[in-house]
Amino acid sequence: DAGVTQSPTHLIKTRGQHVTLRCSPISGHKSVSWYQQVLGQGPQFIFQYYEKEERGRGNFPDRFSARQFPNYSSELNVNALLLGDSALYLCASSLEGGESTDTQYFGPGTRLTVL
């Protein structure tokens, strides 16, 4: 069975540009969460979506936005990129969302470098 997939694998952008990252959850999973992982640190929560609705948002600026599509795939958008946005962006999927204790399974991530 396919796990969580993310695209692209790597991405290089310059300051001020915008970027769109994509995620496909495990088949049957309805919830997608996004995390940012800076080198040497643990992942930081950005968003959670369930049934196309935002269910949670972390402490990230409005430059970060996301959406979930009817097929449960998701996009993370970042505008006006800053050097500090360079990180590994992880997508995790789970069966349900919100306050359930369903396990979150992570994809391989997208490595974003901002020059």
Partner 1 sequence: GESVGLHLPTLSVQEGDNSIINCAYSNSASDYFIWYKQESGKGPQFIIDIRSNMDKRQGQRVTVLLNKTVKHLSLQIAATQPGDSAVYFCAERWWGQGGKLIFGQGTELSVKP
The residue ranges that bind partner 1 (CB under 8 A) are: 4, 33, 35, 40-45, 47-48, 50, 55-58, 90, 92, 97-101, 103-109
Cβ proximity to partner 1, 35 vs 72, nearer residue: 35
Give CA–CA dist 19/14, Å, rounded.
10
CB of 45 to partner 1, least distance (A): 4
Minimum CB–partner distance for residue 111 and partner 1 (Å): 8
18 or 37: whose CB is closer to partner 1? 37
> What is the smallest separation between the CB atom of 18 and partner 1, expressed in angstroms?
23
Q: Which is nearer to partner 1, 80 or 104 (CB)?
A: 104
What's the longest Cα–Cα distance across the chain?
39
CB of 108 to partner 1, least distance (A): 5
Q: How far is CA 20 from the centre of its chain?
A: 10
**Shorter beta-carbon distance to partner 1: residue 12 or 80:** 12
